[in-house]
Amino acid sequence: MEAGLAAGPEAASEAGAASEAEAAVVAEALRLLRIEPSAAGDPSRNALRKRRRWLRVLAARRGKRRQERQRRRARGPAEPVPPSLRRGRVPAALATERLLEARAAGPRLCVDLGVGGSMTEKESGRLASQIRRLYGANRRAARPFWLCLTEFAAGTPIYEQCFRMNDGFAGYLVRVWCGIGGELSPVLCILFRISQLLLLSLSQILQDINPDKVYVLGGLVDESIHKELTLRRAREQCLQTARLPIREYMVKAPNSRNYHSETLAINQVFDVLSTYYETQSWPAALRAGVSSGKGYVLPDTAEQVETPQCATAAQENSLFCGEELQRQEAPA
């Protein structure tokens, strides 16, 4: 009994000492984690510099948008967008009726897929995507073309990519020739006469759209690898050739990369042909199909393209120089 009474006070004292030690540890942790109000409300010099720079960037963007609005007002009301380039769905019955009329009496557009045998799988996927865009634009067109795909054989990469990437491709209203001819003319001569064929390539200028002609596009993507391949094959087969009048109606726009290219994707070429077929205006057609990234613009928009690029470069240079000046003038 006495031993138990003696052990009781000792245990109580040990428990009290442990609780005091824990309280000391907690107090020390709170002291280390405490943040002074003055330090929390006073941002560092680096944070202030970043905030000032961000505010200047926002101001430059607002100024750029304001200049763009002023340029649009100066140009006046925009030209009406041709029906072939308007967004939105066309009733299926109306699109089918127009395509069937084009098959009977409209101009033909043929995509020759026999020239792309050396394309990679990625390039074949890009070409399949371009075919989808081309077909969609043709369905929306008030005066569509009749489309034809030659050398579209099962088992080829472009065949697999078209069915994989394009929903409902089997229902496309196009004429498909699945034979492998090895050359351009033998395959197309089964469908059309040599005198009808007109290959779009770098050659003489295309003057007009003739419904009796068959306009042939080479199914290629990578212009650096397949440069002038279709033109060389057309010359070997004695086919007529023509090119879009980009040089005659457009000018080279100044850009930082000094990049200018007349090579267009097949859907861009179709946008040019379709718009011209509806409007009979080459400037409107080239505006619809030739993107600014190609480095060519119409003469009336050359200065408008140059101004935003120069303004953006000047703003970036001024921001950089301002930051350097502030860094040099800041006290050590």
CB 213 within 8 A of CB 196: yes
Q: What is the pLDDT of residue 84?
A: 45
pLDDT surpasses 60 at 78: no
Q: Pick the residue with more confidence: 162 or 304?
A: 162
> Is pLDDT above 50 for 6?
no
pLDDT digits (tens, 9 = 90+) for 34-49: 544 444 455 688 888 8
- 132: nearest Cα among 264, 265, 270, 267: 267
What is the pLDDT, as a whole number, of residue 68?
Answer: 83
Alpha carbon 169 to its chain's center = 22
Q: Is the pLDDT of residue 329 over 60?
A: no
Topology annotation, domain 91-307: Alpha/beta knot (3.40.1280)
Helix axes 266-279, 121-140, angle to 10 degrees: 20
- DSSP H/E element including 197: strand 197-205
pLDDT at 37: 44
DSSP string, 208-273: ---TTSEEEEE----TTTSTTHHHHHHHHTT-EEEE--HHHH-EEPP-TT--------HHHHHHHH
204 vs 326, higher pLDDT:
204
* pLDDT reading at 2 higher than 60: no
Indicate the Cα dihedral angle 154, 158, 162, 164, nearest 10°: 80
3-class secondary structure, 207: coil
- Helices 121-140 and 157-165: crossing angle, nearest 10°? 50
pLDDT band, very low/low/confident/very high, at 272 (cuts 50, 70, 90): very high
What number is the average pLDDT over the span 293-311? 66
Most confidently modeled of 26-30, 34-38, 131-135, 292-296? 131-135
For the question of whether the overall pTM of this predicted structure is more than 0.85, the answer is no
Residue 151 has pLDDT above 90, yes or no: no
Share of the chain above pLDDT 90, in %: 11
Highest mean pLDDT (candidates 42-46, 141-145, 150-154, 320-324)? 141-145
HSE-CB of 224 using CA atoms within 13 angstroms: 1
Task: Give 295's DSSP letter.
Answer: T
pLDDT for 113? 83
Specify the range with the lowest mean pLDDT, choosing from 101-115, 116-130, 220-234, 279-293. Answer: 220-234
Q: What is the mean pLDDT of residues 66-85?
A: 68
Residue 162 has pLDDT above 50, yes or no: yes
pLDDT higher than threshold 80 for residue 298: yes
- DSSP notation for 18-38: HHHHHHHHHHHHHHHH---HH
> Quick one: pLDDT at residue 320?
45
Weakest-pLDDT range from 227-231, 284-288, 296-300: 227-231
User: Which tops the pLDDT comparison, 71 or 81?
Assistant: 71
| Site of tokens 């050396």 | 118
Per-residue confidence at 92, pLDDT binned at 50, 70, 90? confident
Alpha helices in the chain (DSSP H): 2-33, 37-41, 45-75, 92-105, 121-140, 157-165, 184-191, 229-236, 246-249, 266-279, 282-289, 302-329
pLDDT band at 273 (very low <50, low <70, confident <90, very high): very high
Give residue 281's pLDDT.
Answer: 92
Per the model's pLDDT, the better-predicted residue between 202 and 144 turns out to be: 144
Q: Give the torsion sign (CA, 222, 230, 119, 172).
A: positive
Task: Tell me the average pLDDT of the chain.
Answer: 74
